[in-house]
Amino acid sequence: MSRGVLPLLFAQFLTAFGDNAILFAAIGMVLQAKDVPGWYIPALQASFLIAYVVSAPWVGPIADRFSKSRVLLLGNLVKALGTGMILAGIEPLFSYALVGLGAAIYSPAKYGILPELVPKEQLVRTNGWIEGSTILAIIVGAVVGGYLADYSVSGAFLMVLVLYLVSMAVTLLIPLLPPQGGTLQHALPKFAGMISGFMETPRARFAMLGGSLFWGASAVLRVLLVAWAPVVLSIHSAGDISALALFIALGVIIGTLVAPLFIPLEQLRRARFAAYAMGLMILLFSLVNTPMLSLVSPVWDARIVLLLTGIAGGIFLVPINAALQDIGHSTIGSGRAVAIQNFFQNFAMLVTVGLYTLAAAEEVHPVTTVVALGVLILVATVAVALHLPREAPQVG
């Protein structure tokens, strides 16, 4: 293993653990508070996403302008400051937005540093290690954050703060690599030009909008569980709600593993069937704890349907991501394609969570929102897939 990869893996695990634990710590904080409106939790998620969207044109150039190991340090520092502000009693909507800004700074440096640390022939394997450690951190962080918040909200946030600080210390073990010459001048018009050029082909539009659809739906489903679980399953614990979300993550992992068996890159059109399945599973989820869906018990019925939803989503996501990398490599470059992908996906999450926030403010029943989400996925998939060529070429 090349020098710097092991501390990068450890630092990434710690920061991803903190990123997922802090959300469910915030959910636990809200659930234990009194007289908090229903729109507050989705608004928290939206505040995190705003920083990603607004900073998108600049965080990529920042990652190239400075040594990426120091950019990783900066990202964790900003996240630690935001967490400390929550502990200090500063408005969580503002503090959590600062955590989102730190995550936005961290992301392009995390992916961009790998080609600088390892030779090309080791890049795929190293990416696998990074993604594997991240998935493990997502699963463990969400559950630990939720259950710890049930016991002590301040303890959960303190744990997150320590994780970010330790991740910063480990980052210092990554070699100080030379900058790659990024510039912040004209970043916004350059970013707009990249988007325009990248989205010229139907295949690129399908892949970009399809990925955005997946992440937008996933973001809503995660925060929607907080309102849905108490009403349908009489679950009020942040830990138990995070355990429900765990089944979505497990399903996505399974889906990503089996996706290559069903959808090769040259058959991108097939991905729409997985999106249809995801929409249908969400509609099925609206029937949990009703006579129309009685498999084992209401809780296990919910877990099974969420697992199937995640599997369908994982099968959909893998060919979408592969197509984006393929198109990006042959057009504007894979790194810039990832930057555009991050922008669209976080913008989609911001829009969908924003709409859900409005629905929660109007006290729309959670089951009604679940049905609306399933219908939205089905309709959006049809609309996005309409202009996809029947036999798309390998290159965008």
Is it true that 1-185 and 186-396 share their CATH fold? yes
DSSP 203-267: HHHHHHHHHHHHHHHHHHHHHHHHHHHHHHT----HHHHHHHHHHHHHHHHHHHHHHHHH--GGG
pLDDT at 76 over 90: yes
The CATH class that applies to domain 186-396 reads mainly alpha
Please, which pLDDT band fits residue 395 given cuts at 50, 70 and 90?
A: very low
Which residues have C-beta within 8 Å of that of residue 273, sequence separation ≥ 6? none
Which amino acid is present at 32?
Answer: Q
∠95-249-264 over CA atoms, to 5°? 120
* More confidently predicted of 189 and 339: 189
Nearest to 123 by CA among 257, 131, 181: 131
* More confidently predicted of 209 and 165: 165
Q: Are 150 and 27 in contact (CB under 8 A)?
A: no
Among 180-189, 369-378, 386-395, the least confident range: 386-395
Q: Using CA atoms, how far apart are residues 80 and 18, in angstroms rounded to an integer?
A: 10
pTM of the model: 0.75
Q: Which pLDDT does position 327 carry in this prediction?
A: 72
Please compute Rg for the chain using Cα positions: 20
Among 150-154, 186-190, 197-201, 374-378, the least confident range: 197-201
Please, which pLDDT band fits residue 282 given cuts at 50, 70 and 90?
A: very high
Nearest to 312 by CA among 289, 340, 283: 283
1-185 CATH choice from 3.30.360.10, 1.20.1250.20, 1.10.10.10, 3.40.50.2000 = 1.20.1250.20
| Mean pLDDT along residues 334-355 | 78
Q: Which two tokens stand for residue 143?
A: 């559950």
For helices 298-330 and 271-285, give the axis angle rounded to 10 degrees.
Answer: 150
| Residue 248 to residues 217, 244, 328, Cα–Cα distance (Å) | 12, 7, 29
Question: Domain residue spans in the chain?
Answer: 1-185, 186-396
Q: Using CA atoms, how far apart are residues 312 and 123, in angstroms rounded to an integer?
A: 28
Long-range contacts of 224-229 (CB under 8 A, 24+ apart): 224/356, 224/366, 224/369, 224/370, 224/373, 226/27, 226/31, 226/41, 227/38, 227/41, 227/360, 227/366, 227/369, 228/366, 228/367, 228/369, 228/370
Q: Using CA atoms, how far apart are residues 26 and 92, in angstroms rounded to an integer?
A: 8
Please, which pLDDT band fits residue 392 given cuts at 50, 70 and 90?
A: very low
Q: Are 71 and 105 in contact (CB under 8 A)?
A: yes
Q: Which two tokens stand for residue 133?
A: 């450690």
The three-state (H, E, C) secondary structure of 301-334, written as one string: HHHHHHHHHHHHHHHHHHHHHHHHHHHHHHCCCH
| Mean pLDDT along residues 343-364 | 86
pLDDT at 258 over 60: yes
Q: Are 287 and 229 in contact (CB under 8 A)?
A: no
Q: Using CA atoms, how far apart are residues 353 and 351, in angstroms rounded to an integer?
A: 6
What is the three-class DSSP state of 290? strand
Which amino acid is present at 395?
Answer: V
Q: Using CA atoms, how far apart are residues 29 and 212, in angstroms rounded to an integer?
A: 29
Q: Which pLDDT does position 77 carry in this prediction?
A: 96
What are the pLDDT digits (tens) for 237-250?
Answer: 877 887 888 888 88
Which letter does DSSP use for residue 293 in this model? B
